[in-house]
């Protein structure tokens, strides 16, 4: 499942006072514009949310910017620095501001069967397909983090076949803390977070005891308490150590902390 929007740049929104009060510098397009020297005009900022959750999908957002014409969009920060109300307000602004935008998802079942890295690639591939379907072909990708999970050159299975075929053919550039510094990536994080949160609130109506309207599927004490009492749902990642000590993802690295909502 994925969604895409294509539109011209919109008027910048008012600043998010809460993020500014925390002393964070607003992300800019400064780093993205360095790609103009390579002849690149359309660049896709990419970020993921939900990687460390116990339940629900992992989601990948893409926001494409035009390096020749794009104006800054005030108020956008890494989604973790924004309140739910701020993210909801910014979501339609980001989608109008972006040349094209999309969010792709991989389900808990797909995470269990493929592993978290391949599931990230699957979600990103679905979002990428929506961008291409909107008639926009990014010439480069800026990906938050240090590992290119979107289109790795040679991540093969035991049978020497790609677990998930990557659709992104553009060169991928990784940058640690890009969601904090780069406006295109911060924008991608906002739309991914808003869409995934809405999905978790919808799933909450089916399984209200787990508190997904509040914890969004992350490993809060209340969430684990219900897991111990009632067991996992079809939306839990049952291949994970749901009730273990320190959670680890399929790659063996520590996963992100529960959402602060």
Domain ranges of the chain: 2-194
* CATH class of residue range 2-194: alpha beta
Segment 65-71 shows an average pLDDT of: 96
Q: For the chain, what is the largest distance between any 2 Cα atoms, rounded to a whole number of angstroms?
A: 58
Segment 67-71 shows an average pLDDT of: 95
Segment 252-256 shows an average pLDDT of: 40
What is the pTM assigned to this prediction? 0.84
Report which of residues 226 and 23 the model is more confident about: 226
Residue 18 exposed, middle or buried by CB count within 10 Å (0-12, 13-18, 19+): middle
Segment 113-127 shows an average pLDDT of: 96
pLDDT score at 22: 54
CA distance 184 to 178: 9
> Can you say which residues are annotated as belonging to the binding site for a divalent metal cation?
47-48, 144
Look at residue 250 and tell me whether its pLDDT is greater than 60: no
> Can you say which residues are annotated as belonging to the binding site?
47-48, 144
CA-to-CA separations, 140 to 40, 169, 258, in angstroms, rounded: 7, 9, 31
Highest mean pLDDT range out of 46-60, 160-174, 229-243?
46-60
- Report the percent of the chain where pLDDT is more than 70: 80
CB 82 within 8 A of CB 19: yes
CA-to-CA separations, 30 to 13, 34, 150, 162, 178, in angstroms, rounded: 19, 7, 23, 35, 11
Total residue length of the chain: 261
């Amino acid at each position: 499942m994925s969604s895409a929007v294509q539109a011209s740049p919109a008027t910048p929104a008012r600043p998010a006072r809460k993020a500014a009060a925390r002393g964070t510098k607003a992300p800019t397009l400064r780093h993205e514009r360095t790609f103009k020297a390579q002849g690149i005009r359309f660049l896709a900022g990419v970020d993921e949310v939900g990687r460390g959750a116990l339940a629900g999908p992992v989601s990948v957002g893409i926001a494409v910017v035009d390096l020749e014409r794009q104006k800054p969009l005030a108020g956008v920060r890494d989604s973790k620095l924004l309140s739910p109300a701020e993210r909801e307000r910014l979501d339609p602004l980001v989608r109008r501001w972006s040349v094209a935008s999309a969010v792709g998802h991989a389900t808990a079942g797909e995470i269990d069967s493929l592993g978290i890295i391949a599931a990230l690639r699957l979600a990103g591939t679905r979002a990428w397909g929506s961008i291409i379907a909107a008639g926009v072909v990014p010439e480069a990708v800026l990906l938050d983090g240090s590992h290119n999970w979107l289109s790795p050159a040679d991540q093969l299975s035991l049978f020497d076949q790609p677990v998930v075929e990557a659709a992104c053919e553009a060169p991928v550039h990784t940058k640690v803390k890009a969601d904090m510094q780069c406006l295109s990536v911060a924008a991608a994080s906002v739309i991914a977070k808003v869409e995934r949160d809405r999905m978790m609130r919808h799933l909450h109506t089916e399984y209200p005891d787990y508190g997904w309207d509040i914890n969004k599927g992350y490993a809060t004490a209340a969430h684990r308490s219900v897991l111990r009492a009632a067991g996992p749902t079809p939306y839990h990642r049952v291949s994970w150590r749901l009730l273990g000590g320190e959670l680890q993802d399929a790659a063996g690295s520590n996963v992100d902390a529960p959402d602060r909502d």
